[in-house]
Amino acid sequence: MLDTLIIGSGPAGLSAAIYAKRAGLSLAVVEKNAVSGGQILNTWEVDNYPGLPGINGFDLGMKFREHADKLAIDFIEGEAVSLTPGSDAHRVKLDNGEEYEAKTVIIATGAIHAALGVPGEDTFMGKGVSYCATCDGGFFNGKETAVIGGGDVAVEDAIYLSRICSKVALIHRRDELRASNILKEELLNTPNITVYWNSIVKEIRGEAAVSSLLLENVATKETSELSTAAAFIAVGIRPDTAIVRDIVECDEGGYVIAGEDCETSVPGIYVAGDARKKRLRQVVTAAADGANAATAAADHINRH
């Protein structure tokens, strides 16, 4: 039996693994992808992780993994498909049929950004296509950018970008925003933001990087091309928490509710990173969650 089993190998999971190993716990990390690092692997540059400004997202993910490898942390390839809590141990089953028991479990499965599913989106990922304005907006200082979406996140992103970009286009498929009234008012009163109503993105275009968007008006079916250096996609995000959604307390969106120690409503089960309900979801907060979760798990084991 393991002291702790960590599900997920992004910044939260790897940070948890490092702290758990340093605490002397027996552990393993379950990773369903071929490469550790999580969503950060798709980020062209990371300019807000302390001490490593401008580092490539893939390189940062590899540095996290190298740190874990130096500590001889065990990794298990597979996807966790079920979690059965117990009084003394929790049992996790993988998609290959293997089962593991651990005194504590740390859920670090992250969240998944909804994609547009249009040509060019994958091609220009990290080269003008982004799902996080606060992460990548600074790379487009003084340039024209576009945000796709109509909810709170999209409107907040557009307002944020308006402070550092020359122009911001907000592209929304309906004739009314879903965002809160106070955000809508601020957006509509910001002079360098233009809203493209009843519009959808049909294609993201460019050569080495994003240079324009092909738009279609859903009412008239007319198409137009919008010049932009970046497309910030904010059409939704969902936590990858299906494995625990019926076990621990979650909010209406499926994010796991946990305090600063990252312990969920079930003793011995912890959550770290983007799967946790919190205000800011970035690499630095994911790593912090991992450290807190592992430390709390070690305390739990010592108490029991």
How many angstroms separate the CA atoms of 224 and 233, rounded?
A: 19
Q: Which of 242, 273, 245 shows the shortest CA–CA distance to 6?
A: 273
How many angstroms separate the CA atoms of 248 and 257, rounded?
A: 8
pTM of the model: 0.74
What are the structure tokens assigned to 155, written together? Answer: 């409107």
Domains of the chain: 2-112+237-303 (3.50.50.60), 115-233 (3.50.50.60)
Compute the average pLDDT of residues 41-65.
83
Which SS3 state, helix, strand or coil, does residue 210 take? strand
The residue annotated as part of the active site, out of 88, 95, 135, 299, is 135
- Residues 145-192 have pLDDT tens digits of 999 999 988 998 999 999 999 999 999 999 999 998 999 999 999 999
The helix (run of H) or strand (run of E) holding residue 270 is: strand 269-271
The per-residue pLDDT for 42 is: 62
Q: What is the mean pLDDT of the chain?
A: 94
- Residue 97 φ then ψ, to 5°: 95, -10
- Residues 74-98 have pLDDT tens digits of 999 999 999 999 988 999 999 999 9
Cβ atoms 3, 26 nearer than 8 A: yes
**Does 289 participate in catalysis according to the annotation?**
no
- Residues 185-239 have pLDDT tens digits of 999 999 999 999 999 999 999 999 999 999 999 999 999 999 999 999 999 888 9
- Residues 108-144 have pLDDT tens digits of 999 888 899 999 999 999 899 999 888 889 999 999 9
**Does 250 participate in catalysis according to the annotation?**
no
The residue annotated as part of the active site, out of 47, 88, 132, 157, is 132
The residue annotated as part of the active site, out of 136, 240, 274, 289, is 136
Compute the average pLDDT of residues 62-66.
95
The per-residue pLDDT for 5 is: 98
Cβ atoms 27, 52 nearer than 8 A: no
3-state helix, strand, coil in the chain (%, to 5): 25, 30, 45
